[in-house]
A = this chain, B = another copy of it.
């Protein structure tokens, strides 16, 4: 049975997150429902690179599944996009080796976080950027971003509700931010991310940028390994799972 890898984008606004949950509208449920239709009522499980929370978006989420259907790849894409709602779009369907796994084979993930830093909110961005009206010192924030680059125990930057197995040590390869007009865009690359990790990290950088927190508060929080040492978890609407990277680019 062929194994297929799909790359999708979705607007997370109207979903309770990626992962399937009873009586809730989720991305996974929509995709499995579309696949069930294509497979004449037969259930097909999908396996994603990871879940995303309610309201979080994706530009390049990846999942895989196995199928007994014999369909040309372009027709897979067409059929899925016809069956899926308009806030989920399949960009790419590829055949992958039978041992490919969207979660376990991912070596790197890129997240982006968008902040609207203007005098007034923008009704058209309310679900797509976090609105922060405070003056932000971008230079300070760029320095703060660099503090995260490296391998650390991210216990302070992980939701207390997290039930992660294993340690909370993760490596951040790159973290930067830039202002374009009223928009501040964060880019974060790492080998893995804990629950709420990006939203707590960017939240602390914004606190430093606005002067609500001291420049050394990230180092302190990392050292303490205590969730209460880092700031609040900022809202999901600014967060995008941007890309999932696999070793052989498959």
Contact = CB atoms under 8 A, between A and B. Distances in A.
Interface of A: 9-11, 57, 86-89, 91, 120-124, 126, 128
A123 B88 contact: yes
Across the A-B interface, give the 10 residue pairs with the lowest CB-CB distance, nearest first: A11-B123, A86-B126, A89-B123, A87-B123, A9-B123, A11-B124, A10-B123, A89-B121, A124-B128, A91-B120
B120 A89 contact: yes
A120 B86 CA distance: 12
Contacts of A128: 124
A124 B14 CA distance: 12
How many copies altogether? 2
A221 B212 CA distance: 62
Nearest to A77: B120
A91 B126 CA distance: 15
20 contacts: A9-B122, A9-B123, A9-B124, A10-B123, A11-B123, A11-B124, A11-B126, A57-B124, A86-B121, A86-B123, A86-B126, A87-B123, A87-B126, A88-B123, A89-B120, A89-B121, A89-B122, A89-B123, A91-B120, A124-B128
Nearest to A121: B89
A154 B23 CA distance: 51
A86 B128 CA distance: 13
A124 B88 CA distance: 10
